DNA sequence: GGACAATCCATAGCAACGTTATGGCATACT
DNA sequence: AGTATGCCATAACGTTGCTATGGATTGTCC
């Protein structure tokens, strides 16, 4: 009754190879025939495993989110939640700029569907939790009863903005990084953080940069 | 000696039709044969006028920047430079979200080249000048001797960030608009603007929304 | 253990894509 | 008027994603 099962190794190889091609050469470089050729299978394998090229691209995005999540998870909670927060921002920025084409595929290439939204949202939670801990520590007196998710959205919007400008060649990397950090610092100031503490946390974050996964 | 000159009407029709297709149906809807068909010419006309499909897409981006510039130019200087600034931000946001596919083509679809950078930069100048007038009016005491372009970059980065998140379906329109305005307000607070004045300027800007071009 | 049935994947063909070659015909200068 | 120059219409080429067909392989049942 039961027929031949699909080979999980073929499926994994397709995703991994596709992610590599997209990450190194961009979306346009990923073609059906080339993918099948590099994996050493036939074009039909893509259709039995994913149904369409678009569905495979979605799996590539999932892979991208998984890698981003791993980077963020490498940032451990410390006694200075704002240093943790700064380090999360750095991990996000470095992930995006180290694999610009993958970031483009995840966030820029087109409207994401609901499936992506779910897998992307849990990476956002790392940011929300860090900000929540900053609030508990009393670092943002001016943002008293605010939902941490609201504040996290401000930080994410600004981060995504500068990353996008850099990836679009509208800003050189050094300017993007500098204005991003000064912009986020402005948010902290507006939320009432003590400037001396802000500086101390930033210094502590800088000392912990080695925690971040390589790349 | 001199041969038949290229018809400027054909060229204009190609650009206008291409911009309409991209704006209404997105980048993927613009194909060579369809464009030639709708304009009522042959596929070769595209190559005599633009040389390649990619060069025509660049003209579409130029057209998009021209439209954005017209929107920004419709905001006249008033005695309240921060109201002007807020209105410029609204004009930018409304332009982008009213023609999301055109904004995508201009800023999101791929790395822009140097030609785009030049045409895009002069729209940025509207923002720089408004912030310069805010500085002259003493609205940002904490940002004393800072270059207006630096501050404008912060505002632009945040604006572009939330616009991009909305266009990517990562944020619903109402949340994007709300967090964008509250984020920009945070920047003003961090730069030392008097909260009462900030509110008054925002109210004045709201009353002037009709100045903006329709759409 | 052998027949069966289901289905994965290899081969071949389709429409549509951007681009290039070819050629007729209109146009501006001698 | 004649001519040469180059715009634009027609046709073909290679590559794209996708579908139709068919052979090979594997799990199940008697």
The secondary structure of B13-51 as a DSSP string is HHHHHHHHHHHHH-GGG--HHHHHHHHTS-HHHHHHHTS
Res. A5 pLDDT band, cuts 50 70 90:
confident
Mean pLDDT, chain A, as a whole number?
Answer: 94
CATH code assigned at A126: 1.10.357
pLDDT digits (tens, 9 = 90+) for A96-146: 999 999 999 999 997 788 878 888 889 999 999 999 999 999 999 999 889
Q: Is A148 helix (H, G, I), strand (E, B) or coil?
A: helix
Q: pLDDT digits over A37-49, tens only?
A: 999 999 999 999 9
Q: Is the pLDDT of residue B4 over 80?
A: no
Give chain B positions within 8 Å (CB) of A156.
Answer: 161, 165
> Nearest to residue B161, comparing CAs of A166, A36, A150, A117?
A166
Give the pLDDT confidence score for residue A116 in this predicted structure.
80
What integer pLDDT is reported at residue A2 of this predicted model?
63
Asked whether residue A70 falls in the same domain as residue A175, the answer is yes
- Give domain status of residue A168, yes or no: yes
- Mutation target for B interface from A53, A89, A109, A157: give the one with most B CBs within 10 A: A157
- Give yes or no: residues A30 and A115 share one domain: no
Enclosing H/E stretch for B11: helix B8-25
Looking at the complex, does the CB of residue A122 fall below 8 Å from at least one CB of chain B?
no
Across the range B171-196, mean pLDDT stands at 96
Which residues in A lie closer than 8 A to residue B150 (C-beta atoms)? 179
Q: Do A95 and A14 fall within a single domain?
A: no
Percentage of chain B lying above the pLDDT 90 cut = 87
Total domains present in chain A: 2
Residue B143 is assigned to a structural domain of this protein: yes
User: Is residue A19 in a domain?
Assistant: yes
Are both A191 and A88 inside the same structural domain? Answer: yes
Query: What's the mean pLDDT in B141-169?
Result: 96
Instruction: Determine the average pLDDT of the residues in A21-29.
Output: 97
Q: Indicate whether A140 and A39 sit together in one domain.
A: no
A44/A117 same-domain check: no
Q: What is the mean pLDDT of residues A150-171?
A: 97
Based on the domain organization, do A110 and A173 belong to the same domain? Answer: yes
Does residue A125 lie in a domain region? yes
- What is the rounded CA–CA span in Å between residue B209 and residue A182? 30
- Same domain, yes or no, for A29 and A120? no
CB-CB neighbors (< 8 A) of A195 in chain B: none
Range of the domain at B73: 63-211
Question: What is the predicted pLDDT for the residue at A117?
Answer: 87
For residues B103 and B186, state if they share a domain.
Answer: yes
Contact between B112 and A169 using a beta-carbon 8 Å cutoff: yes
Residue B3 CA and nucleotide C23 C1' are separated, in Å, by: 16
**Same domain, residue pair A80 and A142:** yes
- Measured CA to CA, the distance from residue A116 to residue A121 in angstroms comes to 8
List the single residue in A108, A157, A167 with the smallest CB-CB distance to B183: A157
B163 in a structural domain: yes
Q: Give the distance, in angstroms, between residue B17 CA and nucleotide D3 C1'.
A: 37
Q: What are phi and psi of A13, to 5 degrees?
A: -65, -40
Q: Is the pLDDT confidence value at B172 over 70?
A: yes
Same domain, A164 and A204: yes
Per-residue pLDDT tens over the stretch A50-68: 999 999 999 999 999 999 9
Spatial CA neighbour of B142 closest among A108, A162, A189: A189
Dihedral angle sign, alpha carbons of residues B172, B177, B180, B186: negative
CA nearest to B112, candidates A99, A165, A63? A165
**Average pLDDT estimate for A185-192:** 96
The pLDDT value recorded for residue A118 is 84
Which residues in 58-77 of chain B line strand D, with CB less than 7 A from it? none
Find the Cα–Cα–Cα–Cα dihedral A102, A108, A110, A111, rounded to 10°.
Answer: 110
B38 shares its domain with B115: no
Query: Residues A64-83: pLDDT tens digits?
Result: 999 999 999 999 999 999 99
Q: Write out the DSSP string of B104-132.
A: IIIIISS---HHHHHHHHHHHHHHHHHHH
Residue A149 has a pLDDT of 97
CATH code for the domain in which residue B1 is found:
1.10.10
Q: Give yes or no for residue A1 having a pLDDT over 60.
A: no
Those residues whose C-beta lies under 8 Å from the C-beta of residue B116, and which sit 6 or more positions away, are: B58, B61, B62, B65, B106
CA distance A176 to B23: 29
Residue B1 has pLDDT above 70, yes or no: no
Model confidence at B10, pLDDT cuts 50, 70, 90, reads: very high
Q: Rounded mean pLDDT of B65-80? A: 96
Residue A163 and residue A94: Cα distance in Å, rounded? Answer: 10
> Is residue B208's pLDDT more than 70?
yes
Distance CA A91, CA A73 (A): 10
């Amino acid at each position: 009754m039961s027929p031949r099962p699909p080979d999980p190794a073929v499926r994994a190889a397709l995703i991994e190879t596709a992610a590599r091609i997209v990450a190194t050469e961009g979306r346009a470089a990923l073609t059906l025939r080339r993918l099948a050729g590099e994996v050493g299978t036939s074009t039909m394998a893509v259709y039995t495993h994913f149904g369409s090229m678009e569905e495979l691209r979605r799996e590539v995005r999932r892979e991208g989110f998984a890698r981003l999540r791993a980077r963020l998870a490498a940032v451990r909670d410390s006694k200075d939640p704002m240093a943790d927060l700064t380090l999360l921002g750095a991990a996000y920025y470095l992930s995006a700029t180290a694999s610009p084409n993958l970031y483009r595929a995840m966030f820029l290439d087109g409207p994401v569907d609901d499936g992506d939204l779910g897998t992307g949202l849990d990476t956002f939670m790392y940011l929300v939790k860090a900000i929540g801990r900053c609030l508990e520590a009393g670092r943002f007196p001016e943002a008293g009863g605010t939902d941490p998710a609201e504040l996290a959205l401000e930080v994410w919007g600004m981060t995504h903005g500068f990353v996008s400008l850099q990836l679009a060649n509208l800003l050189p990397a050094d300017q993007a990084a500098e204005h991003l950090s000064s912009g986020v610092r402005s948010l902290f100031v507006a939320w009432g953080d003590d400037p001396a503490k802000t500086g101390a946390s930033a210094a502590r974050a800088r000392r912990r940069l080695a925690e971040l996964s390589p790349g």
